[in-house]
Amino acid sequence: MRGCERSADQGFVTAEAAVVLCVLVAFTMALVWGLLVVAAQIRCVDAARIGARAAARQDPAGAVVAVTREAAPHGARVTVGREGDRVRVTVVARPPVLSGLPFEVREEAVAPAEDITDAKEPAGSGEAGP
């Protein structure tokens, strides 16, 4: 009788191991996906800040978008706007892997616009002749 009980228990151990293994794989995949989302969020933060600095320097809008997209995750949408004396850059991206989920990371950066003045020499600062 003892031999029958032992072989029946081995079947349960195999089934339990299969379930636990599936749960561990799913948990690991969720952790990796979470790390990828956090990495995409950090890249969006950096890209928005880079874009806001470029826009604050009065760089052309095309150049601001280009430099922002270089730092942003692949396929990110970049919006550049001006509100009075401030510039606002918004970066929206879908996290990598499982991109079919309706989930986006979004970051905005705001910077004061720098005023560009003509580079004229102050009066009396020119070179004096002998």
User: What tens-digit pLDDT sequence spans the chain (130 residues)?
Assistant: 455 555 556 667 777 888 899 999 999 998 998 898 899 999 999 999 999 999 999 999 899 999 999 999 998 999 999 988 999 999 999 887 766 777 889 999 999 988 766 444 444 434 333 3
Predicted pLDDT of residue 15 = 79
pLDDT score for 11: 64
Does 9 map to a domain? yes
Residue 124 in domain: no
| Paired residues of 106 in beta bridges | 92
- The pLDDT of residue 112: 94
For residue 117, is it within any domain?
no
The residue whose two tokens read 């952790």 is 31
Q: What is the extent of the structural domain holding 74?
A: 2-112
Residue 125 located in a structural domain: no
Separation of alpha carbons 92 and 11, rounded Å: 50
In a domain, 73, yes or no: yes
Note whether residue 84 is domain-resident.
yes
Residue 122 is assigned to a structural domain of this protein: no
DSSP 122: P
Exposed/middle/buried for residue 64 (C-beta within 10 Å: 0-12, 13-18, 19+): buried
Report the pLDDT value the prediction gives residue 12, as an integer from 0 to 100: 73
Is 45 part of any domain?
yes
The per-residue pLDDT for 128 is: 37
pLDDT tens for each residue of 68-96:
999 999 989 999 999 889 999 999 998 87
The pLDDT assigned to 13 comes to 76
Specify the number of domains making up the chain.
1
